[in-house]
């Protein structure tokens, strides 16, 4: 049942990304182009996503288990550290240059978009390389 709910959630999320145009790198870069032909539609998608997430997180805070029976694990950490700031800056830079963030990149990958086939391996390298380089070894 949990696998079915995860697949259904992923399908709905992917369809939302496709319908909103967020798998199109030009749409993302248009949002970030404040000095040119600015496209505010990504901001509207973000506001909608934040609203949905706010309701979901508010309901989740009162629960110890998810609908699937899995224990709820909501992050409690509220501090900023160097790793979070540097990671955010790198993520934002890559997002602005490529026009993809992970979710839309995976949806674009499944649609056969050539740019996504270049971006996703680079994204995975960027996700896993720091663990190999910076994690303390026993």
Domain span at residue 119 reads 2-134
Confidence of residue 121 (pLDDT cuts 50, 70, 90): very high
Mean pLDDT of 11-27: 86
Counted domains in the chain: 1
72-80, long-range: CB < 8 A, 24+ apart: none
Is the pLDDT assigned to residue 74 strictly greater than 80?
Answer: no
For residue 71, the SS3 value is strand
- pLDDT of res. 72: 84
CA neighbor of 21 nearest in space, from 10, 8, 11, 30 = 30
Q: How many CB atoms lie within 10 A of CB 60?
A: 14
Confidence of residue 137 (pLDDT cuts 50, 70, 90): low
Instruction: State the angle between helix axes of 114-134 and 82-98 in degrees (0 to 180), rounded to the nearest 10.
Output: 160
Mean pLDDT of 91-118: 87
Q: Looking at the DSSP assignment, which residues form a beta bridge with residue 71? A: 65
CA 20/CA 71 separation, integer angstroms: 32
Is the pLDDT assigned to residue 138 strictly greater than 70?
Answer: no
Confidence of residue 45 (pLDDT cuts 50, 70, 90): confident
């Amino acid at each position: 049942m949990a696998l079915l709910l995860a697949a259904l959630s992923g399908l709905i999320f992917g369809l939302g990304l496709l319908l909103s145009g967020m798998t199109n790198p030009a749409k993302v870069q248009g949002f970030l182009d404040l000095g040119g032909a600015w496209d505010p539609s990504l901001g509207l998608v973000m506001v909608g996503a934040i609203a949905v997430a706010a309701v979901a997180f508010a309901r989740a805070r009162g629960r110890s288990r998810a609908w699937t029976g899995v224990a709820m694990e909501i992050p409690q950490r509220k501090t900023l550290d160097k790793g979070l700031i540097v990671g955010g800056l790198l993520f934002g830079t890559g997002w602005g240059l490529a026009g993809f963030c992970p979710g839309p990149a995976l949806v674009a990958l499944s649609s056969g978009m050539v740019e996504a086939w270049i971006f996703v391996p680079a994204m995975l390298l960027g996700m896993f390389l720091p663990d190999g380089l910076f994690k303390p070894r026993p």
